[in-house]
């Protein structure tokens, strides 16, 4: 299956590192991936290959301050800039695969971004997948750290702080945790102003969930210690019948990297198949809470 690396040019002329996983034949659809905080697009190779086997192309780019893209680690000038980069990502997909349906897929911080992008920009795409979205952290941010971030954001918005995320909370698979810790492209930094903005955007998305304009697959592990399962559940309830809510019982943050990843990816591909065959994804057989 063809794989290649390329450059995604943004509206403000920054070159972002990007990857494409393409099936051997003409894809039936293209999926545009947005990764999470502190990681990069290269950690989704197994997802790209699985999507390729199902006949889909997967495009992914490294967010600013992440992976092989430029910028201070974990820093994006403004939340709106990240949304603008997603617009370029979608435009690039339309150029590469004209006339093919497009689905926007985000994980963690990327899950926050794709929900907000769909709500604020209402793009002409087929649907959205959001996994373990960072609508709220699982545990409240200590008041002292939040006050420090607010002060630093005012005087030094490019400053970054350690996220405090425990790598062991990403997956129950020790090989995934070990690979993440040893990965030189992964980091534990977040820009102070950007952090305040994406946390505010999570709350905004929750307040506007009932207005979600597109078919949505929203999935979250019930044992996630990084992002709030309860916030995702609340979003799904408010989003109504457009949303397929998939709780994964006992799974950690990176559901696609858990020991049950084959079931997780198969469910996602099943939802895509239903969506792209002009059916309503909410016709799927309920939620799989058997894991």
Single pTM value for the model: 0.94
Range of the domain at 175: 3-283
Token pair for residue 37? Answer: 């905080």
- Cβ neighbours for 286, distance < 8 A, ≥ 6 positions apart: none
| Number of neighbouring beta carbons within 10 Å of residue 229 | 20
pLDDT band of residue 145 (cuts 50, 70, 90) is: confident
> Is residue 135 a part of any domain in this protein?
yes
Judge whether residue 290 has pLDDT over 60. Answer: no
Alpha-carbon distance of 131 to 216, in angstroms, equals: 10
CA-closest candidate to residue 259, choices 171, 157, 135: 171
Helix (H, G, I), strand (E, B) or coil at 42: helix
Only one residue has tokens 């057989």, namely 285
> Is residue 291 a part of any domain in this protein?
no
pLDDT band of residue 284 (cuts 50, 70, 90) is: low
> What share of the chain in percent tops pLDDT 70?
95
Helix (H) or strand (E) holding 129: strand 127-131
> Is residue 96 a part of any domain in this protein?
yes
According to the model, what pLDDT value does residue 133 have?
98
Q: Are residues 205 and 136 in contact, defined by beta-carbon separation less than 8 angstroms? A: no
Residue 184 maps to which CATH number? Answer: 3.40.50.1820
> Is residue 117 a part of any domain in this protein?
yes
According to the model, what pLDDT value does residue 157 have?
80
What domain count does the chain have? 1
Judge whether residue 29 has pLDDT over 80. Answer: yes
> Is residue 122 a part of any domain in this protein?
yes
> Is residue 12 a part of any domain in this protein?
yes
For the chain, percent helix, then strand, then coil, each to nearest 5? Answer: 45, 20, 40
> Is residue 103 a part of any domain in this protein?
yes
Judge whether residue 206 has pLDDT over 90. Answer: yes
> Is residue 290 a part of any domain in this protein?
no
Mean pLDDT of 206-219: 98
Q: Are residues 107 and 129 in contact, defined by beta-carbon separation less than 8 angstroms? A: no
Give me the half-sphere count of Cα atoms (radius 13 Å) on the Cβ side of residue 16: 27
According to the model, what pLDDT value does residue 140 have?
80
């Amino acid at each position: 299956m063809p794989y290649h690396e390329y450059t995604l040019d943004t509206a403000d002329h920054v070159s972002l590192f990007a990857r494409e996983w393409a099936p051997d034949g003409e894809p039936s659809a293209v999926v545009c991936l947005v990764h999470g905080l502190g990681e990069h697009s290269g950690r989704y190779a197994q997802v790209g290959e699985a999507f390729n086997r199902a006949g889909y192309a997967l495009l992914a780019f490294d967010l600013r301050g992440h992976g092989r893209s430029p910028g201070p680690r974990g820093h994006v000038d403004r939340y709106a800039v990240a949304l603008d980069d997603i617009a370029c990502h979608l435009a690039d997909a339309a150029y590469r695969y004209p006339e093919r349906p497009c689905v926007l897929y985000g994980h963690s911080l990327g899950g926050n971004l794709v929900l907000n992008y769909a709500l604020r920009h209402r793009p002409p795409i087929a649907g959205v997948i959001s996994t373990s979205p960072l609508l709220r952290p699982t545990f409240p941010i200590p008041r002292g750290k939040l006050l420090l971030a607010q002060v630093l954001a005012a005087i030094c918005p490019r400053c970054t702080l350690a996220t405090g995320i425990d790598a062991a909370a990403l997956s129950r698979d020790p090989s995934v945790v070990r690979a993440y810790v040893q990965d030189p492209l992964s980091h534990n930094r977040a820009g102070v102003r950007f952090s305040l903005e994406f946390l505010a955007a999570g709350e905004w998305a929750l307040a506007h969930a009932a207005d979600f304009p597109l078919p949505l697959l929203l999935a979250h592990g019930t044992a996630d210690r990084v992002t709030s399962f309860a916030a995702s559940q609340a979003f799904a309830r408010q989003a109504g019948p457009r949303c397929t809510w998939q709780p994964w019982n006992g799974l950690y943050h990176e559901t696609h990297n858990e020991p049950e990843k084959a079931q997780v990816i198969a469910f996602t591909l099943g939802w895509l198949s239903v969506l792209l065959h002009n059916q309503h994804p909410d016709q799927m057989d309920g939620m799989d809470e058997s894991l």
